Amino acid sequence: MRHIDSALVQERAAISAISRVAEHGLSEATYLTQMRNQLEAAVPDASEALALIAGTANMAIARMVARFGSEMS
């Protein structure tokens, strides 16, 4: 019985960790979008470069979150 409880606790901890990492990733992506919008307003000529930077950073965040989720599963 104790082994089952331990496995359940580990599973819940993994789910919680994945959820927290995903929430943090979304928070970072939101922050990047806000910063991009502010910078585009200040320097309209840089919009293409800012879009590329923000897109690349968001993809990297998404990959890290996905990798963490697959490693925890």
Predicted TM-score (pTM) of the model is: 0.82
At 2 the pLDDT is 64
Residuewise pLDDT in 10s, the chain (73 residues):
566 788 888 899 999 999 999 999 999 999 999 999 999 999 999 999 999 999 999 999 999 999 999 998 8
Alpha-carbon gap, residue 26 to 64, rounded angstroms: 12
What is the tens place of the pLDDT at every residue in 28-41?
999 999 999 999 99
Mark residue 43 as left, alpha or beta (left: phi above 0; alpha: psi -120 to 50; beta: remaining). Answer: beta
At 49 the pLDDT is 97
